[in-house]
Amino acid sequence: MNKILLIIKREYLTRVKKRSFIIMTILGPVLMAAMFIVPVYIAQIEGDVKTIGVIDETGMFGNTFNDSENIHFIPLKDDLDSARQVMLKKNLYAILHIPKTELSVPETIKLYSTGQPNIVVKGYIKDSYRKEIESMKLQASGVDPDILRSIKSSINLLTVKLDEGGEAEASSTELSMGVGFISGLIIYIFIFMYGAMVMRGVIEEKTSRIVEVIVSSVRPFQLMMGKITGVALVGLTQFVLWVVLTLLIVTTFLSVFSGDLQSYQQSQMKMTEEFTTETTAPATEALAPESDGSQVNESAIAIFESIRSINFGVVILMFLFYFVGGYLLYAALFAAIGSAVDAETDTQQFMMPVTIPLILSIVVSQFILYNPDGPAAFWLSIIPLTSPVVMMIRIPFGVPWFDLYLSMALLVLGFLGTTWLAGKIYRTGILMYGKKTSYKELWKWIKYKN
């Protein structure tokens, strides 16, 4: 046992002192925090007001396009050719041309600009024009547009979960899907990342002949277990540092720019309300004049209650268990592959059978999210080779304790079985040089007696 601890210490200290580990430990949280900070920061930067000239040959859409916070419309009396020539002189962002047709209201309009038009501008113009066309068609058919709008309703479907005692608590399927998928994806990535690290370490020691000196003092199985456990501790250290540093960066950003973010959110809400008032106001007045925002408040309260409904304590504990268990299971197999070859280029023939179950678990994750209690979800969360990812996807939805305990027990047994199998291959392959290894050869190594 002391020898295994020495190997664990050597593997851990050697790797955490590497420059690549330090750089990735710092760079990882910066990149993850940037995924949250950069879009928010860019979104709150207000661009210049875009002036769009409107050439309405029909004379019917003079009041259709209302100015927004970032878009300003001006009517143009020039013809299209003249307007296109003076676009840059008048500092116009674009020219909107509504042609005159002989038989009907034009349903195709053109937007001329010197560059690629902004998708927000296109969407605003298209939606405003569509609403006006629909209103004209309704009036032509003798239907009051206000009556049609009044029958439109905004529906919120709130889900409530009942426990065995009949107690009710709010839940959110979307939130459970997000937590489950992200947890499973992180385990998938880390298993591949650190499992491959174990394999490369074994190959490096084998090709440099350092292992010949090491195995003169320790047994091959002890060397394999020490290497696997040491790299696991490196992975956990890096993961914890990533989480802590990411939260620290994001929290600091929110505290420093809280005022700017709040004003940005308020402006976005104001723009959304102005943009949707034309469609939703009649319906609100006709169907819910007394609501006074209570429906929005109820939805917001339900969201916070659904967040509390997820037992994050269980999610975190199970994440750590399946993170470590899945890594140990696959790291043993990766170590066996590394010991069986002389170069990393020779690992491909053995990598495919080992990684197919792990890849399959992430491929079928979308089906598991839509039916977390189905037979496919059950069996894939029980089988040790796929349970680290699939069970983490299921846990936020609520998993029966029997399924969870069975999965955990089988994962432990699976780790012991793969470790025994990998040890058989490792003890022979680690000292085998210059021979092309095949599956037939591996089977002979497994059958060798001590």
Pairing of strands 94-98, 71-75: unpaired
**3-class DSSP state of 94:** strand
Tell me which DSSP letter residue 397 carries. Answer: G
| Separation between Cα atoms, residue 358 and residue 288, nearest integer Å | 51
- 354 vs 35 pLDDT, higher one: 354
Per-residue model confidence (pLDDT) at position 384: 92
Residue 104 near residue 64, CB atoms below 8 Å = no
Provide the residue count of the chain.
450
| Separation between Cα atoms, residue 270 and residue 264, nearest integer Å | 10
Residue type, 236: L
pLDDT in tens, 336-378: 888 888 777 777 778 888 889 989 998 898 888 888 888 888 9
66: alpha, beta or left, given left = phi > 0 and alpha = psi -120 to 50? beta
Vertex 154: Cα angle to 150 and 159 (nearest 5) = 150
Residue 184 near residue 389, CB atoms below 8 Å = yes
pLDDT in tens, 184-239: 898 998 888 888 888 888 887 777 777 766 767 777 777 788 888 888 888 888 88
Cα-Cα-Cα-Cα torsion 413, 417, 418, 419, nearest 10 degrees, comes to 100
**3-class DSSP state of 98:** strand
- 183-187, 253-257, 296-300, 364-368: segment of lowest average pLDDT: 296-300
| Separation between Cα atoms, residue 207 and residue 186, nearest integer Å | 31
| Separation between Cα atoms, residue 376 and residue 373, nearest integer Å | 8
Per-residue model confidence (pLDDT) at position 278: 45
How is domain 50-143 classified at the CATH fold level? D-Maltodextrin-Binding Protein; domain 2 (3.40.190)
| Separation between Cα atoms, residue 80 and residue 222, nearest integer Å | 82
Other Cβ atoms within 10 Å of 129 Cβ, number:
18
Contacts of 358 (CB under 8 A, 6+ apart): 188, 191, 192, 330, 385, 386, 389
- 245 vs 217 pLDDT, higher one: 245
Tell me which DSSP letter residue 396 carries. Answer: G
Per-residue model confidence (pLDDT) at position 305: 57
The two most distant CA atoms of the chain are separated, in Å, by 95
Q: Which two tokens stand for residue 95?
A: 């020219």
Give bridge partners of residue 52 from the DSSP assignment. 73, 94
Vertex 443: Cα angle to 198 and 230 (nearest 5) = 15
Segment (H or E) for 111 = strand 110-113
Nearest to residue 90, comparing CAs of 68, 112, 58, 109?
A: 112
Q: Say yes or no to pLDDT of 280 above 50.
A: no
- 13-22, 65-74, 209-218: segment of lowest average pLDDT: 209-218
| Separation between Cα atoms, residue 233 and residue 404, nearest integer Å | 25
Q: Give 309-337 as a DSSP string.
A: HS-HHHHHHHHHHHHHHHHHHHHHHHHHH
State mean pLDDT over 287-310: 52
Q: Using CB atoms within 10 Å of the CB of residue 314, give its burial: 0 to 12 exposed, 13 to 18 middle, 19+ buried.
A: middle
Tell me which DSSP letter residue 78 carries. Answer: S
| Separation between Cα atoms, residue 401 and residue 66, nearest integer Å | 58
| Separation between Cα atoms, residue 169 and residue 347, nearest integer Å | 50
Q: Categorize the per-residue pLDDT at 322 as very low, low, confident or very high, splitting at 50, 70 and 90.
A: very high
Sorted by where each begins, the domain ranges of the chain are 50-143, 173-254+309-447, 261-304
Beta strand residue intervals within 114-250, DSSP E? 159-162, 168-171
pLDDT in tens, 89-133: 677 888 888 888 766 777 788 888 877 777 878 888 888 888 888
